Structure 1
């Protein structure tokens, strides 16, 4: 932990001096150094179990980091908050914070912060008895720190792996060896907290092996460090361990004294974190109690005065009251009988509703499972259709053959679009879609969408016109993936129903207050249009303007339903204006956040989009690629597509053959299928990574990846290409990893 604090302060100094000449900050604006200092203090507070103080420091650091949009410290605040939850045994909360931190750290390539999070993730998983997953995260961090030759962090990892091995019957001997390695790495370390943990666990190991003198010696080493640095938690645990050692040596008096000290520290920790709350509670209830007492006395006095005045009427009213009570008793008896019958009916109805709810939930789960299974079964043969079509189109077909092949290509793409739309809609209805915000260039994002849709527009002889407000900042913070999905569906819908016409896409600034920016998106066409009576239903699932339109243009009617659901998720709604035969206009507004740097150059226009330099397929020439695939047709297709670009291909029918070939031959890249007979693609990759850490391995698979990306990366894959793929994406990813591999060498 201490080396992390040093890294934080070093990074702060870099930020402070690196940008001193290019930016002039106001006195009220926080600096990276201030945030780093707050995070270091929060770690110290956690070490001393001052959780209230740590929470205040973390809250303040997160607020300051967000104010200057410092993503590294935003993520690190979540990581350190997760550490506090881990110390307090609130493991699920800790995992939630770590997942948030890891996502940001991967996006910004913060290797130091990412591996800090990996170690902490491993600790939490160990506490949850998920030992194998815990070791995977420790191994990820260990690979990084071995490259960096960071002995202190390697010592911390060795200590934590030893703690895991103590819980595995076949690993106990390795646990002792790892503790010895950790001592070599950490003996002269400035990280006193981890050093105190090391001696504590060494003492526990000694106690288990009945090495009492060594156990006592290591326990007192841990206690000495903890008392010097004020590590309250470690002091409490060490006194408890010393009590066990004395009890094992039959010195019960000494054991009792040490146990009392452990309990006293426990009470101190509790008081330290609850004193302020208890004080506030006492003051609140003390004042309310005093107020309540005064009000009660006042009411009593008023009641006594009133009683004296009406005392004479009591006798007369008593007789009347008894009569009324008798009548009420009879009425209540009848009402109770009626209520009992009503309750029986309600319980019966409730049981029926509960059963109906359970059946509905089972049906929903069956639907989700069916979609997951059928997706894989559909994608696998569809890969053969699209792959063979691509190969045949490149072999100079005749005009009539080319027409048939283009029809086949269209049908394959249509079927893939249908599958993807159904899956997207299923995820939206199951509330499995989350908003992921990041900084991006909106103009470039829309331009990329238009480039992707240009071929479809050209086939319809339809022109696309794009107007972008030049006052919109170049960089914005929002969810670029969902914005692309909305625009692809809306513009694609306009292209579908517009032939020999025009489509206008415009983005204008609606309003802006400081960092908060609202933009108006408008998509207008002069196509078929939608009748008034159909405009409300057009956003429902599987709905189109009319039966005639469905027959003429095809489609499933899911695109606009997905748009409506996505906009609802983004706190917006779609507006539609349309006249049958004249065209349609779709518009919506979205909120964005402007980064701090863009506010200072708000007047700079954003008319020129960024360009992305395409990677030439010449990179693949002469490269040796291993294709691991059990399906013979898919083997042949992938091999031919690669060999057309002068790639030297080798094929493996299953994971075991792939491992053997990689051990014997030198390959530049591996394309690995996931579901195969024998060992799976994931298991084969794990085995390859044991002897080859550098070769790029790309998962070429038909499985649904949305919820399992982490598992692929954790097990050694460099990237993923879902089948059936677009040829451009296929080549782009392969070329990128080949170039990266050459650069690393």
Structure 2
């Protein structure tokens, strides 16, 4: 009879291979599509953030979060929480920034390995430390973050923050290196924004080191980029640095001109009503989002916990079952051995008893014959 078991195993392996061949590309395509959609959301958020349209940036992040959660994309959720943290920090709400960073870190703890996500969270932590004037701790976080991330846009933002920290601790040489590195950058998302920030950093540096000509030069470059790209905060800062630099350089007429520009900019762009409207909008979105996040994440954590518990219980029961089967097998083997030995012993004893009985019968027959012979002779 032909043994078909080897052929069955080969057929099963072939079926699994075919399924993997067809299903893996489909899964990869779906995952790539999700990543592409999230990237679009994040780029849109970045554009609004850099133009100080914070209410729009919050709306986009809210959509990104809902999409990431509906797609069960944990990396996207971590990225969204970190961006919420940065946006709230930019708005001046440190408490909400810390809240979202904590949510991102909590998800990272349950994720097996996501170095880029850890690097992003460390960058956010460095921003928080910098905002608290804990500059050397912020530098340490940045050094750790650089080791974890290979995202070019994130690394460029780390260089920018590094330059700002060096400015604050008055290490102008290192600050200059950081800012100059960003003047000609090839960032895929924030090329013009990073260049503008680098010019502003150098404008401040040269102002503090009393090289007013260079300060004016960099301020003008920043002003042109900010105006062209609608970077409102940077446009205001450029005018402020120009007013200061021209005044220090004794060009008072130009200094007065830029001071007047500052007043107009604040009146037209940064009105109190606009700031209040953005704050109320952001507060509402943030609170609604916070509640939704907590509810969804608690459900997710509960599901993961139940899944983990089921897996652990299954593993324990499987181990216990295998142990019991092993013990039963050993017990049956030992019982079988004892039974065999007992049977051998009983058979031996039976043979001995049979031989003894036969000997007794023969003795009785001999005795009977002897008595019969004696009785006959006596008669």
Please indicate, yes or no, whether the TM-score normalized by the shorter chain is above 0.5. yes
Report what 2:60 is aligned to: 57
Question: C-alpha displacement at 1:202, in angstroms?
Answer: 1.0
Within the candidate set 36, 42, 45, 1:42 is matched to 45
Within the candidate set 126, 131, 134, 1:127 is matched to 131
Report what 1:536 is aligned to: none
1:192 and 2:196 matched: no
- Larger RCO: 1 or 2 (CA < 8 Å, sep 6+): 2
- Is the Cα–Cα contact under 8 Å of residues 162 and 176 in structure 1 kept in the other structure? no
- Is the Cα–Cα contact under 8 Å of residues 125 and 134 in structure 1 kept in the other structure? yes
1:19 and 2:26 matched: yes
Larger Cα-atom Rg:
2
From the two aligned structures, give the one with the greater helix fraction: 2
Report what 1:81 is aligned to: 84
Report what 1:446 is aligned to: 313
Q: TM-score, normalised by structure 2?
A: 0.62
From the two aligned structures, give the one with the greater strand fraction: 1
Question: C-alpha displacement at 1:238, in angstroms?
Answer: 1.4
- Is the Cα–Cα contact under 8 Å of residues 182 and 198 in structure 1 kept in the other structure? yes
Gaps in structure 2 of 5+ consecutive residues: 1-23, 281-296, 325-379
Report what 2:233 is aligned to: 233
Q: Cα RMSD over matched residues? A: 3.5
Q: Distance in 2 between matches of 1:257 and 1:90?
A: 34
Per the alignment, in what secondary structure is the counterpart of residue 57 of structure 1? Answer: helix
- Is the Cα–Cα contact under 8 Å of residues 155 and 185 in structure 1 kept in the other structure? yes
- Is the Cα–Cα contact under 8 Å of residues 159 and 178 in structure 1 kept in the other structure? no
Within the candidate set 101, 124, 134, 1:98 is matched to 101
Within the candidate set 61, 69, 74, 1:71 is matched to 74
Change (3 A) 1:21 1:154: closer
Report what 2:245 is aligned to: 245
Report what 2:177 is aligned to: 180
Q: Deviations over 1:589-625 (max 9, x none)?
A: xxxxxxxxxxxxxxxxxxxxxxxxxxxxxxxxxxxxx
Q: Deviations over 1:457-512 (max 9, x none)?
A: x9xxxxxxxxxxxxxxxxxxxxxxxxxxxxxxxxxxxxxxxxxxxxxxxxxxxxxx
Question: C-alpha displacement at 1:18, in angstroms?
Answer: 4.7
Question: C-alpha displacement at 1:214, in angstroms?
Answer: 0.7
Change (3 A) 1:213 1:22: closer
Question: C-alpha displacement at 1:185, in angstroms?
Answer: 5.3
Report what 1:315 is aligned to: none
Per the alignment, in what secondary structure is the counterpart of residue 166 of structure 1? Answer: helix
Q: Distance in 2 between matches of 1:181 and 1:231?
A: 21
Aligned residue pairs total: 272
Q: Distance in 1 between matches of 2:262 and 2:232?
A: 10
Change (3 A) 1:218 1:101: same
Question: C-alpha displacement at 1:31, in angstroms?
Answer: 4.6
Change (3 A) 1:273 1:40: farther
- Is the Cα–Cα contact under 8 Å of residues 48 and 54 in structure 2 kept in the other structure? yes
Change (3 A) 1:131 1:267: same
Gaps in structure 1 of 5+ consecutive residues: 1-16, 25-29, 281-433, 459-745
- Is the Cα–Cα contact under 8 Å of residues 122 and 137 in structure 1 kept in the other structure? yes
Alignment of 1:558-597 (within 5 A): none
1:163 and 2:30 matched: no
- Is the Cα–Cα contact under 8 Å of residues 61 and 80 in structure 2 kept in the other structure? yes
Question: C-alpha displacement at 1:195, in angstroms?
Answer: 1.8
Q: Deviations over 1:641-673 (max 9, x none)?
A: xxxxxxxxxxxxxxxxxxxxxxxxxxxxxxxxx
Q: Distance in 1 between matches of 2:43 and 2:241?
A: 29
Q: Distance in 2 between matches of 1:95 and 1:117?
A: 11
Q: Deviations over 1:28-53 (max 9, x none)?
A: xx954333312211111010000111
Q: Distance in 2 between matches of 1:151 and 1:179?
A: 20
Q: Distance in 1 between matches of 2:102 and 2:56?
A: 24
Change (3 A) 1:18 1:208: farther
Q: Deviations over 1:430-462 (max 9, x none)?
A: xxxx9682744442122356699x7xxx9xxxx
